[in-house]
């Protein structure tokens, strides 16, 4: 997959949220976005391996894949910088 993913603003928001913390299914819309991003291999379920490695969250939470990390990094560089006064 290439870095030029055509992401909707909602999908970008979900990826940025996943950058901060694993996502737990909150509502049908969020679940739909997460599953769509899983289909594009940008998110995946945390799974039992994460729990075995010490994570205490749900194995059903969504986390970024390696490709998801690459897309987030590429997107962050493409987004205009915000200026602070």
Predicted confidence at residue 73, as pLDDT, reads 87
The two tokens of residue 64 are 């970024």
Q: Name the residue ranges covered by the structural domains of the chain.
A: 9-77
Position 82 pLDDT exceeds 60: no
- How crowded is the C-beta side of 77, counted as CA atoms within 13 Å? 7
pLDDT digit string (tens) for 5-46?
688 999 999 999 998 888 887 789 999 999 999 999 999 988
Q: Does domain 9-77 have CATH number 1.10.357?
A: no
Model pTM? 0.74
Rounded CA gap, 57 and 2, in Å? 31
pLDDT (0 to 100) of residue 2: 44
Q: Decide: 65 and 16 in contact? Cβ < 8 Å.
A: no
Distances (CA, A) of 47 to 4, 17, 36, 57: 28, 18, 18, 10
Q: What is the pLDDT of residues 40-79, one digit of tens each?
A: 999 998 887 677 777 677 777 898 999 999 998 887 766 5
Instruction: Report yes or no: 44 and 62 within 8 Å, Cβ to Cβ.
Output: yes
Which of 8, 21, 5 shows the shortest CA–CA distance to 68?
5
């Amino acid at each position: 997959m290439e870095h030029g993913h055509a992401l909707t603003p909602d999908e970008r928001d979900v990826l940025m949220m996943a950058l901060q913390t694993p996502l737990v299914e909150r509502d049908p819309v969020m679940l739909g976005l997460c599953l769509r991003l899983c289909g594009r291999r940008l998110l995946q379920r945390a799974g039992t391996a994460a729990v075995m490695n010490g994570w205490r969250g749900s194995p059903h939470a969504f986390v970024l894949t390696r490709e998801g990390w690459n897309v987030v990094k590429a997107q962050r560089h493409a987004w205009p910088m915000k200026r602070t006064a």
